Amino acid sequence: MTGWRCLVTGAGGFLGQRIISLLAEQKELQEIRALDKVFRPELQEEFSKLKCKITLTMLEGDILDEQCLKRACQGISVVIHCASIIDVVGAIQREVIMNVNLKGTQLLLEACVQANVQVFIYTSSLEVAGPNSYSEIIQNGHEEEHHESKWFTAYPYSKKLAERVVLAADGWTLKNGGTLYTCALRPMYIYGEGNQFHYTQINQALQNNGILPDFAKYSLVNPVYVGNVAWAHILAIKALQDPKKVQNIRGQFYYISDDTPHRSYSNFIYILCKEWGLRFDSRMTIPVFLQYWIAFLLEIVSCLLSPIYNYQPPLTRHLVTLSNSVFTFSYKKAQRDLGYKPLFSWEEAKEKTTQWVGSLVRQHKEALKTKTH
């Protein structure tokens, strides 16, 4: 399409920023609309430095505000829906997560119909597929195996229902009589510079004499670099705009991984940090089955206390399962249908992420020096 316009929700987030950067390089794109609840001042400055001739409009608004969504979608050709609350530890109220992740998606789809948006790409999650048990082994899984999360925990449950709504919306009739095309991308665990989970772990380690928590050494996963996930979104746009490809892609979901080596979560974090002197805790860890039953007892305590006190267990069965499963997936279907292949090699991704870790270590050391003077 010539002269098309794209809206990205969750544009100020870890992935959303990368998608904006890659969109800025696309020819024939007239406008990028970046929607988020709030943009940090430094991000506004970063976006303003993007070297492109494309109009970049930053919109602050709530995904649950119908009027805001209608305005955001007006004149838009493509929507990339990244906005989501990610919570694997149960820190956020269930109702809040369900509203943003599910209701927000439904409202956005309705706004797209009213505004005649032709393409809707949903950033889903690997957790839509599982894992359901730490004893189950899934290696190089693929879309035809129909893995589905059985957890009622708010995050995976909300993402599963939202993805289902998006894929069912494919073929909806737009207000002008056109047709809505949808697809969903399920990235593996996303890593890279700016990852908030990495940031928290590294800061905790720096506060603890450089000792990383060995929280998930029994897992086997294939993390994916943030730049490659962003690139998959760009290719999905192109594929859904291509008359020769669109019929095979609409209403489909795709696992997005890359050539990052398969590792445990713990070992993977260590690879990114070891150059800077961070290391594992050498003490013995609790066996997974024992972690699971401790988590179960803590959940019972939480349930019993709920009428009088909101107790958040430090460990849940979902978190234990997520952190200790063999759960890896292939990107062959995305390669076949979307023409996807990683934009960044493992070596490039590791270098970029490792250097970012180094910047955090240096900031920590400088802060300690300032305190001592």
Cα separations (Å) of 243 from 171, 237, 246, 247?
A: 15, 12, 6, 8
- Kindly state the DSSP code that residue 99 receives in the 8-state scheme: I
Output phi, psi for 157, to 5 deg.
-65, -45
d(Cα 338, Cα 238) in Å, to the nearest integer? Answer: 8
d(Cα 277, Cα 232) in Å, to the nearest integer? Answer: 34
Two structure tokens written together for 82: 């990244």
Cα separations (Å) of 48 from 15, 24, 44, 51, 116?
A: 18, 11, 6, 8, 29
DSSP reduced 3-state for 19: helix
Two structure tokens written together for 336: 């076949």
- Residues known to be catalytic: 155
- Kindly state the DSSP code that residue 262 receives in the 8-state scheme: P
Is the distance from CB of 324 to CB of 134 less than 8 angstroms? yes
The CB density around residue 78, as the number of other CB atoms within 10 Å, is: 24
Cα separations (Å) of 241 from 5, 98, 133, 338, 369?
A: 12, 31, 39, 11, 54
Residue positions counted in the chain: 373
Among residues 77, 101, 245, 95, which one has the least CA distance to residue 162? 101
